[in-house]
């Protein structure tokens, strides 16, 4: 085994290979969309997703006041929109207008889903949990749609300033 070196707590999180990156959309009158790398499955039955949100985000305030949100998986062709939604705040920008992303009504929630994304999860907010410097908003998935022919290798990954696509399958379980 190669010898190990200590990694500072500031760099430790950067050792993870990558995480899926999603666009989270919300709102009824005022709508917003922002980019989230901290997304995780917390339960399979019922299906519950969690998103880790920093209190400085405009979306943080909105999510506290709303009953639902959507989690949308973008393909690589949406990388510029993903960057835009992850760097501009909905506090002073209409990100749907500026990116051309289309907010379409959810089938089972009041918040919109994003038409251009490959998969749309409609989530009813079930809980908010403060954890360190983030709050995790959990959502029970009440409806899901995916484009025909979708496979999970089409979803984008992100970490440490790098966007990438999933790599080779080298073994099956
Ligand atoms: C690739 C990427 C991933 C991000 N992941 C998160 C995240 O998991 N949680 C978070 O709070 N902000 C995350 N951000 C930052 C927000 O998307 C960004 O601050 C955004 O402008 C907030 O928009 P809002 O003020 O309209 O809510 C990420 C940004 C990028 C570019």
Q: What digits encode the pLDDT tens for the residues 33-90?
A: 999 999 999 999 999 999 999 999 999 999 999 999 999 999 999 999 999 999 999 9
Cα 59 from Cα 70, distance rounded (Å): 12
Q: What digits encode the pLDDT tens for the residues 77-121?
A: 999 999 999 999 999 999 999 999 999 999 999 999 999 999 999
Cα 16 from Cα 153, distance rounded (Å): 18
Residues in the chain: 173
Alpha helices in the chain (DSSP H): 9-12, 58-65, 79-85, 95-99
Which atom from ligand 1 is nearest to the alpha carbon of 90? 26
Ligand 1 pocket check for 121: Cβ under 6 Å: no
Specify the CATH superfamily of domain 22-148.
Electron Transport, Fmn-binding Protein; Chain A (2.30.110.10)
């Amino acid at each position: 085994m190669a010898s190990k070196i200590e990694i500072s707590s500031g760099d430790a999180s950067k050792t993870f290979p990558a995480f899926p990156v999603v666009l989270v959309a919300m709102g009824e009158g005022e709508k917003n969309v922002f980019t989230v790398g901290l997304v995780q499955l917390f339960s399979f039955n019922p299906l519950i997703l969690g998103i880790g949100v920093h209190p400085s985000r405009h979306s943080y305030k909105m999510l506290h006041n709303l009953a639902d949100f959507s989690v949308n998986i973008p393909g690589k062709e949406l990388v510029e929109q993903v960057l835009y939604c992850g760097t501009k705040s909905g506090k002073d920008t209409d990100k749907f207008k500026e990116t051309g992303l289309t907010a379409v009504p959810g089938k089972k929630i009041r918040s919109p889903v994003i038409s251009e994304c490959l998969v749309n999860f409609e989530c009813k907010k079930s809980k908010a949990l403060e954890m360190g410097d983030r709050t995790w908003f959990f959502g029970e998935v009440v409806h899901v749609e995916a484009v025909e022919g979708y496979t999970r290798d089409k979803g984008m990954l992100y970490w440490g300033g790098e966007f990438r696509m999933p790599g080779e399958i080298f073994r099956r379980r």
